[in-house]
């Protein structure tokens, strides 16, 4: 029992110190934190929001394919993103944040993003197979990043060591791939009727993030030495 409490304290310390993208702080966190606080005494489990978030993204993709409605899809995507943040905030508010929950959340997120990317391609008849493949492979790579690699990169509650690789994690969060940033970008491009741009922007961000990731791993090895 003591071990669980210590892990929660460490996880709380990590999440408080971890850099959050500015768009997440402004557009998502003020709402998700309040909702999580209201629900913290209920029996609602954080995983419920993970599944609802994935379902909403799937519905948004289907709306794009069959109805080509950017407005309705954008609304669903924003709510899905908000649910994704409520999931984590509620877990921390209840004191049940864990690596298992993080894996499930990350896995469902990436499945939803793959479906969304394919849905956008179908809805606009995007036929560049190279760019489409890069845009689909990206979330798969980051699914591995979100499920396995955090153990190695000092991002799991039970193994977290304060301040280790803090600078590189900050740079990765600031400039590289972030799910909130990705979905918000998709929403903007949908609303201005330029959704095809995602297939040019995402591969660039993918390469940049992978370079930062490799650099982060290299620095971690130097620290271990």
End-to-end CA distance of the chain: 34
pLDDT in tens, 193-212: 999 998 988 777 777 667 76
- 2-9+20-224 CATH pick, 1.20.120.1760, 1.10.3720.10, 1.10.540.10, 1.10.260.40: 1.20.120.1760
- Supply the pTM of this predicted model: 0.75
DSSP for 41-97 reads TSS--HHHHHHHHHHHHHHHHHHHHHT--HHHHHHHHHHHHHHHHHHHHHHHHHT--
pLDDT tens column, 80-114 = 999 999 998 998 888 887 767 677 777 788 889 88
């Amino acid at each position: 029992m003591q071990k669980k409490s210590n892990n929660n304290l460490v996880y709380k310390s990590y999440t408080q110190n971890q850099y959050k993208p500015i768009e997440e702080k402004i557009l998502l966190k003020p709402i998700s934190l309040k909702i999580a606080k209201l629900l913290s005494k209920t029996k609602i489990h954080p995983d419920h929001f993970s599944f609802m978030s994935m379902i909403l993204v799937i519905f948004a993709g289907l709306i794009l394919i069959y109805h080509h409605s950017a407005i309705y899809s954008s609304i669903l995507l924003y709510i899905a993103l908000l649910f994704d943040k409520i999931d984590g905030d509620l877990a921390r508010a209840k004191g049940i944040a864990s690596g298992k929950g993080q894996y499930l959340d990350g896995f469902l997120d990436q499945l939803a993003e793959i479906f969304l990317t394919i849905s956008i391609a179908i809805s606009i008849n995007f036929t560049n197979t190279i760019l489409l493949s890069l845009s689909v492979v990206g979330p798969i790579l980051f699914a591995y990043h979100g499920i396995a690699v955090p153990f190695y990169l000092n991002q799991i509650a039970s193994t977290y060591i304060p301040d280790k690789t803090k600078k590189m994690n900050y740079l990765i969060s600031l400039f590289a791939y972030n799910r909130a940033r990705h979905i918000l970008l998709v929403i903007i491009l949908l609303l201005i009727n330029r959704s095809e741009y995602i297939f040019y922007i995402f591969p660039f961000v993918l390469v940049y993030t992978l370079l930062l990731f490799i650099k982060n791993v290299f620095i971690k090895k130097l620290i271990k030495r």
